[in-house]
Amino acid sequence: MTEKEKMLAGEYYDPLDPQLCKERDEARLLFHKINSLPEDKKEERDQLMYELLGKAGKGLWIEPPIYVDYGKNIHAGENFFMNFGCCILDLAPVTIGDNVMFGPNVQIYTASHPLNAKKRHSGKEFGKPITIGNYVWIGGNATICPGVTLGNGVVVGAGAVVTKSFPDNVFIAGNPARIIKTDINDS
């Protein structure tokens, strides 16, 4: 397997592999261009966003700056809104449903490292995919950790650190995030 294949399979891989370094550099060039375009160039910026992401439905609205590892491993549904300053480390797939909103400075991290110090020092890393359902709202400065799945209709409170998965229609908050309210469709 190539290092990229290992990365996408969630196995330990070498992030300094030349192919992966090249792909990260290409993504950086593209998001730097996106981040530097003035507001009157929004149409060009939007076109570049569709180029950066692996897949995105209609109604994509992303406020720069944005930061990604690869971009191509991010798949967003329709009507996805991302506010200023978000970062997605997408060495594993990040799947975002329809009608999802991110507040400012939301962090999505698929990247992980060994807990054992000697293994961690090897430089090898691995990733775990993140899945975000439909109609999810993630509040500003929230962090979504590797391997998390958020069900449909979830609301994540500002500043939450989400370390585990949650079912549909719950409001979660805190560090680590926990369920604050269930059946939020009645709210």
- Mean pLDDT for 155-161 is 98
pLDDT band at 42 (very low <50, low <70, confident <90, very high): confident
Which DSSP string corresponds to 45-68? HHHHHHHHSSEE-TT-EEPSPEEE
- DSSP letter, residue 170: E
Q: Is the pLDDT of residue 186 over 70?
A: no
- What would the pLDDT profile of 48-106 be if each residue is shown by its tens digit? 999 999 999 999 999 999 999 999 999 999 999 999 999 999 999 999 999 999 999 99
Question: So which residues are the catalytic ones?
Answer: 113
Mean pLDDT of the chain: 95
Looking at the DSSP bridge assignments, the partners of residue 101 are 81, 137
H-helix or E-strand spanning residue 34: helix 18-36
pLDDT at site 51: 95
Q: Is the pLDDT of residue 187 over 90?
A: no
Exposure class string for 127-146: b at 16+ Cβ within 10 A, else e: bbbbbbbbbbbbbbbbbbbb
Q: What are phi and psi of 17, to 5 degrees?
A: -55, 135
- What would the pLDDT profile of 127-143 be if each residue is shown by its tens digit? 999 999 999 999 999 99
For the chain, list the domains and their CATH numbers: 3-186 (2.160.10.10)
Q: Is the pLDDT of residue 172 over 90?
A: yes
Rounded distance, CA 20 to CA 83, Å?
27
Q: Which residue has the tokens 């990247």?
A: 111
